[in-house]
Structure 1
Amino acid sequence: MRMLMAGVVLSLLGFSGYLAGIAISYPRRSISLAAIMIGLTFVAIGRASAMEGSA
């Protein structure tokens, strides 16, 4: 469950950074894309482990 929540938070932060990067150009804004990808990976891992534990 912890991994799932971390993934959701990281994805939302990455998406917010991406939207801010569209509006205002700032250095290293590409890190937001990496945060989105890592966050979605954490969500997938968190969901899989949650389903495995409930079976």
Structure 2
Amino acid sequence: MNHVQAAGTALTIAGVTGYVIGVFAFYPGRGFSLAGVMVGLTLLSVGGAFR
């Protein structure tokens, strides 16, 4: 796994965790979790192209 895929994995996990927490409790910036998931998935898919 290269560094782009690792960053994508970490960002996707953080985004999903933030989204799940945001469903149950309001916190400032919870809307950024969706952007984190989208960017993380993009990095995961692009990271495979750099082999």
Q: Is TM-score (shorter-chain normalized) higher than 0.5?
A: yes
Aligned length in residues: 50
Q: Deviations over 1:7-42 (max 9, x none)?
A: 000000000000000010111200000000010111
Name the larger-Rg structure.
1
- Over the aligned positions, Cα root-mean-square deviation in angstroms equals 0.7
Gap regions ≥5 residues in structure 1:
51-55
* 1:30 corresponds to 2:24: no
The ranges of structure 1 where at least 4 consecutive aligned residues each deviate by more than 3 angstroms after the TM superposition are none
TM-score by length of 1: 0.85
Gap regions ≥5 residues in structure 2:
none
TM-score by length of 2: 0.91
